[in-house]
Copies of this chain bind each other. A is one copy, B any other.
Amino acid sequence: MTHAQNRERLGDMDASEFRVAAHRVADLVADYLEELERHPVRPSLRPGAVRAALPETAPAAPESLDEILRDYASLIEPNITHWQHPGFLAYFSSVASGPGILGEWLAAGLNANVMFWQNAPAPTELEERVVGWLRDLVGLPEVFDGMFTDTASVSTLTALVAARQALPGLDARRRGLAGRPEVGALRLYCSEEAHSSVEKAAIVVGIGRDGVSKIGVDTEFRMRPELLEAAIERDRRDGALPCAVVATLGTTSSTSVDPVDAVADCCERHGLWLHVDAAYAGTAAISPRFREPLRGWERADSLVINPHKWLFTPLDASLLLFRQPEIFREAFSLVADYMRTPETPEVHNFNEYGIQLGRRFRALKVWMILRYFGGAGIGRRVEQHCDWAREWADWVDAHDAWERLAPVPFATLCFRYAPPTLRARGDAVVDRVNQAILDAVNDTGEVYLSGTRLAGRFALRVSIGNPRTEWRHLERCFELLEEAAARAETG
């Protein structure tokens, strides 16, 4: 059936046209992945240039897939920042591995909506299994139940709504927070280094930014539990209502690890909900080598680990684990008449535990990744990334011109160019030189790093987590940094 006939039929794309197109797209993606290094990691673009090249209004008449794919190839693919590129060392790597991509493809074909069991029996039960697989792989006890959400932002928000629901006598689900003179101001605790999503969740649930108590950190950027204890006591004295503590395992700037065991002690003493943000470092626990620093996280009430970070899973997939599913259900469950199905207590109706009713079939890609690489294979990849970061840290430590700005517990390194002569000119100058180094290195297009601030100082930041990255990419990155440093200091 030709395209014109298909149009007339008012149906979907014809089956035979779809098959041909699917093979074409399969090659487009395979080509892209094979030739990733032909692209600069970050394209050089003027803001608005792509938009200006796109028509201002949608076409009224159908266009052929040829035209659409031609524009994709010329306008979209070359003008993205290439998260898949082995030289992408910025932020936290977020990589769609081969088996993960294929899992997304199958899920897109099925388009199952995992709201409740009856509408998605196998997807629901696969999710139950894969959640258990991941929990076991990272060494957490069976008491944890859980589900996938889209992002850590939503996982943490969901956990905070449950924490609020667990406050005795508050019943925020029914009564809300405002207009209740008997209720004190809510308080949430996290370290100064916690992710912005914690503060965003606090805004959403009605705690507000002022209600977020950002606890000071030690010289290694870890929450100081004695300051947490003091803050809770002070708030209680002042009539505020402490609600939850968020401990971060692998903060976003330096991947520091809050002393979660001591934090859990404090939560226990005060009867507070403990949420653990292990969005980054949780995956590392698949290797037994990295479990020790996380010890105590098994005491969490809720916990987030992001497969779409270091578990090579395409966007999006965040794992939310919880100890008391009944609190999540109590907080969120609303079953309207149009969604009522026969009771199936043996299985989850996942929409009742969280914010979203519609839910993508995320378990499929994670299942394919875990089987294709194997648990031990994932662990060895994580270990290799950490070994490389360790090697890089040793190199930085061995060279006077470079300065490490934080410990390297995993595969992320914060450092700066700071030879004694430069350092003598003060931090503001060192910051400026390092910003120039970052820009110069990123402008090469061969690698892409990010920057952050640690204890007031600008830091270059490298994070290794792409299974396509090889040692040669890191060596090249050293070279580019040294070249840029030499130029920046003389420039």
Contact = CB atoms under 8 A, between A and B. Distances in A.
Interface string A334-361: 1111111000101100000001111111
Nearest to A384: B10
A230 interface: no
A398 interface: no
Given A18-B30, A34-B15, A153-B357, A83 B106 contact: no
Q: Which 10 A-B pairs have the closest CB atoms?
A: A176-B208, A13-B98, A179-B185, A206-B206, A29-B109, A79-B122, A177-B206, A22-B26, A96-B111, A104-B108
A416 to B, nearest CB: 14
B186 A112 contact: no
A482 interface: no
Given A51-B129, A122-B50, A57 B136 contact: yes
B81 A119 contact: yes
Given A54-B129, A98-B12, A375-B59, A210 B467 contact: no
A94 to B, nearest CB: 6
Given A23-B27, A200-B332, 18 more contacts: A12-B95, A22-B30, A42-B118, A47-B344, A47-B346, A54-B126, A62-B373, A79-B121, A80-B120, A84-B109, A96-B111, A101-B111, A108-B314, A153-B356, A176-B186, A178-B241, A315-B360, A316-B360
A7 interface: yes
A125 interface: yes
Given A29-B105, A157-B355, A161-B203, A370 B58 contact: yes
Interface in A52-89: 54-63, 65, 67-68, 72, 75-77, 79-84
Contacts of A380: 10
A99 interface: yes
Interface stretch (A167-175, A399-407, A418-426): A167-175
Contact of A57 (B122, B133, B153): B133
Interface stretch (A191-199, A265-273, A288-296): A191-199
Nearest to A51: B125
Contact of A358 (B178, B316, B331, B451): B316
Contacts of A18: 30, 33, 98, 101
A347 B48 CA distance: 7
A304 to B, nearest CB: 12
Contacts of A113: 83, 94, 315
Interface in A359-394: 359-361, 364, 367-368, 370-377, 380-381, 384
Contact of A25 (B14, B106, B377): B106
A364 B132 contact: no
B19 A125 contact: no
Given A80-B120, A356-B154, A253 B338 contact: yes
A368 B61 contact: no
State the oligomeric state as a number of copies.
2
A183 B173 contact: no
A32 interface: yes
Contact of A183 (B95, B178, B461): B178
B467 A12 contact: yes
B453 A58 contact: no
A10 to B, nearest CB: 5
A367 B63 CA distance: 11
Contacts of A314: 108, 111
Contacts of A118: 42, 81
Contacts of A154: 154, 355-356
A141 interface: no
A1 interface: no
Given A76-B364, A210-B176, A17 B109 contact: no
A96 B80 contact: no
A224 interface: no
